[in-house]
C-alpha cells in the first residue's frame, strides 16, 4: 500500500490526513496546535508522526496570516474587479484594491496595506495601455520590493515588465485576467500568484528556520481547498457551495454550473463571471473575529449572537450573503458543505440550517440542496492530491463525501 500524508498548517491548528493512494481511502487523521511561536515544522512533524507517517508528504499553509494580495487595475468596476475575483480564487486575502493612474498617496496606501504580492492588471488586450504603463513606471520609480504578478493588456505587457524589472522590482508576467470585456481568464494569473506565494512569501514569513518548510509547502490552504471543491464539482456534475468558519475569517467557496446567458446574454457581467470562486471575510470569525461578527450582525439586522455556535451560524450567513450577491446560479446548488472547528465538533447542523433558511439576505438560497459537514477535513487533502493524483483525489472525495 502506497500512502500520502496531506498536512494543512493553519494559524491555530496543524491538521494531517493519511491517505491510502491505492484505495483512495482516509486511513487516519490528527490535529495538533500549530507551533508558529517557535518553528512550524515542530507541529508539522508532530502531526505527521501522529498519523504514522507516509510514503509521500503534501503540505499547504495559511499560517502567518496566509497570502495578502493587493490589486491595481484600470477601472474599478472592470479590470480592478476582475483582478479582485482572480485574487480571491487564488487563495489570497485581498487587502487592497485600487484603480486608475497611481498617485503618491496611492503608493502610500499600497504600502500601508502590507501586501505580500501585488496583482497589476489594466486594459483589455488591445484596449487602454497608458494606465498600465503609468502604474508600472510609478512602481518602478518607487522601487517597490513587493513581488508583482503582471496580468494586464498583452500589447504592452513586455514594456511594462521591463520598466519594473529594470529598477529591481520582481515581476512575473502572465496572460491578461480580462482579455475582453465580459471574458475572465483566471487560471494563468492564479497559477502565477501561487508560484510567487511559494517562492517569495512562505520563506519570508519567518515561520521556520532553514528552507525545509518553504520547500514542502505546495499551496496556500484556500487554494488547495478550492482545488478540492473543483474536483468535487467535476465528480458530481452539479453546483457546490462550501462555507468554512474559522476563528479569524470565514471563507466561502462555490463551484457552479456555467450559465450561457450569464456569459453572453443581457445579464453578462462586464468583469466576467467566475464560476469557481472563493471569497474571504476577514471580519467574521468565532474567536479573534467574534467582535467583527457581532458588528456585522447589527449591520445585517440579525440577532446579536452569543456562544460559538451562534457566532458560527451568524458568520456563515453573513459571509454567504456577501459571496452570493450578484453571483448567478446559487439557487441551483445541490450540495452545501460546512467546515471549520465549530462545525466539525457538533455545531454543523445548526449552522447549515441557518444558512439554508436565510431568505431575507438579498440572495436566493439553494432550494434542493443536501447539507453535510466535512468532518474529516477531506477537501484540503483532495485539493493537495489533485495535481499529481487527480484520479485518487476524485475517488477519495467519492468515498468520503457520500
Tens digit of each residue's pLDDT (9 = 90 or more) over 281-314: 878 989 888 999 999 999 999 999 989 999 999 9
Residue 88, C-beta contacts closer than 8 angstroms, at least 6 positions apart: 94, 277, 278, 279, 280
- Domain extent listing, the chain: 3-64+211-217, 68-201, 220-400
- Binning pLDDT at 50, 70 and 90, where does residue 50 land? very high
Give the cell for residue 153.
Answer: 493588456
Evaluate whether 3-64+211-217 and 220-400 have a shared fold. Answer: yes
Read off the pLDDT of residues 6-19 as tens digits, 9 standing for 90 and up: 999 988 889 999 99
pLDDT at 265 over 70: no
- Binning pLDDT at 50, 70 and 90, where does residue 131 land? very high
The rounded distance, in Å, linking the Cα atoms of 24 and 40 is: 28
Look at phi and psi of residue 190 and say left if phi exceeds 0, alpha if psi is from -120 to 50, else beta. Answer: alpha
- The answer to whether the CB of 236 falls within 8 A of the CB of 334 is yes
CATH topology of domain 68-201: Rossmann fold (3.40.50)
The rounded distance, in Å, linking the Cα atoms of 360 and 151 is: 38
Of 190, 166, 83, the closest CA to residue 131 belongs to 83
| CATH class of domain segment(s) 3-64+211-217 | alpha beta
First to last CA, the chain: 24
Residue 50, C-beta contacts closer than 8 angstroms, at least 6 positions apart: 16, 30, 32
Q: What is the mean pLDDT of residues 223-248?
A: 90
Read off the pLDDT of residues 101-119 as tens digits, 9 standing for 90 and up: 999 999 999 999 999 999 9
Q: Higher model confidence: residue 93 or residue 151?
A: 151
CATH topology of domain 220-400: Nucleotidyltransferase; domain 5 (3.30.420)
- pTM value is 0.82
Max Cα-Cα span within the chain = 60
Our CA angle for 385, 246, 59, nearest 5°, is: 25
- The answer to whether the CB of 312 falls within 8 A of the CB of 290 is no
CA atoms within 13 A of residue 65's CA, in its CB half-sphere = 13
Amino acid at each position: 500500500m502506497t500512502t500520502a500524508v496531506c498536512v494543512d498548517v493553519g494559524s491555530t491548528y496543524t491538521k494531517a490526513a493519511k491517505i491510502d493512494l491505492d484505495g483512495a481511502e482516509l486511513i487516519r487523521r490528527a490535529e495538533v496546535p500549530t507551533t508558529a511561536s517557535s518553528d512550524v515544522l515542530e507541529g508539522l512533524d508532530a502531526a505527521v508522526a501522529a498519523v504514522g507517517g507516509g510514503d509521500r508528504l503534501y503540505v499547504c499553509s495559511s499560517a502567518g496570516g496566509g497570502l495578502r494580495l493587493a490589486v491595481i487595475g484600470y477601472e474599478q468596476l472592470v479590470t480592478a474587479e476582475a483582478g479582485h475575483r482572480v485574487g480571491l480564487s487564488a487563495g489570497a486575502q485581498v487587502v487592497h484594491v485600487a484603480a486608475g493612474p497611481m498617485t503618491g498617496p496611492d503608493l502610500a496606501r499600497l504600502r500601508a496595506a502590507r501586501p505580500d504580492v501585488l496583482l497589476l492588471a489594466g486594459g483589455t488586450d488591445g484596449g487602454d495601455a497608458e494606465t498600465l504603463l503609468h502604474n508600472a513606471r510609478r512602481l518602478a520609480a518607487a522601487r517597490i520590493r513587493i513581488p508583482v504578478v503582471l496580468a494586464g493588456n498583452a500589447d504592452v505587457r513586455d514594456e511594462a515588465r521591463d520598466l519594473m524589472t529594470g529598477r529591481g522590482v520582481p515581476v512575473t508576467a502572465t496572460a491578461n485576467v480580462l482579455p475582453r470585456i465580459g471574458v475572465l481568464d483566471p487560471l494563468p494569473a492564479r497559477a502565477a500568484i501561487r508560484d510567487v506565494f511559494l517562492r517569495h512569501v512562505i520563506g519570508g514569513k519567518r515561520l521556520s528556520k532553514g528552507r525545509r518548510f518553504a520547500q514542502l509547502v505546495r499551496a496556500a490552504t484556500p487554494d488547495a481547498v478550492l482545488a478540492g471543491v473543483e474536483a468535487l464539482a467535476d465528480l458530481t456534475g452539479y453546483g457546490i457551495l462550501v462555507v468554512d468558519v474559522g476563528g479569524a475569517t470565514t471563507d466561502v467557496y462555490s463551484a457552479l454550473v456555467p450559465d450561457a446567458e450569464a456569459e453572453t446574454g443581457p445579464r453578462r457581467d462586464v468583469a466576467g463571471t467566475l464560476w469557481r470562486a472563493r471569497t474571504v471575510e476577514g471580519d467574521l470569525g468565532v474567536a479573534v473575529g467574534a467582535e467583527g461578527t457581532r458588528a456585522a450582525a447589527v449591520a445585517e439586522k440579525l440577532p446579536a449572537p452569543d456562544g460559538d455556535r451562534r457566532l458560527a451560524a451568524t458568520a456563515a450567513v453573513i459571509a454567504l450573503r456577501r459571496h452570493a450577491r450578484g453571483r448567478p446560479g446559487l439557487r441551483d446548488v445541490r450540495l452545501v458543505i460546512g467546515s471549520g472547528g465549530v462545525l466539525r465538533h457538533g455545531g454543523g447542523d445548526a449552522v447549515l440550517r441557518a444558512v439554508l433558511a436565510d431568505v431575507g439576505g438579498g440572495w436566493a438560497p439553494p432550494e434542493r440542496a443536501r447539507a453535510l459537514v466535512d468532518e474529516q477535513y477531506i477537501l484540503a487533502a483532495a485539493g493537495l492530491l489533485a495535481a499529481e493524483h487527480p484520479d485518487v483525489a476524485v475517488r477519495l472525495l467519492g468515498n468520503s463525501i457520500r
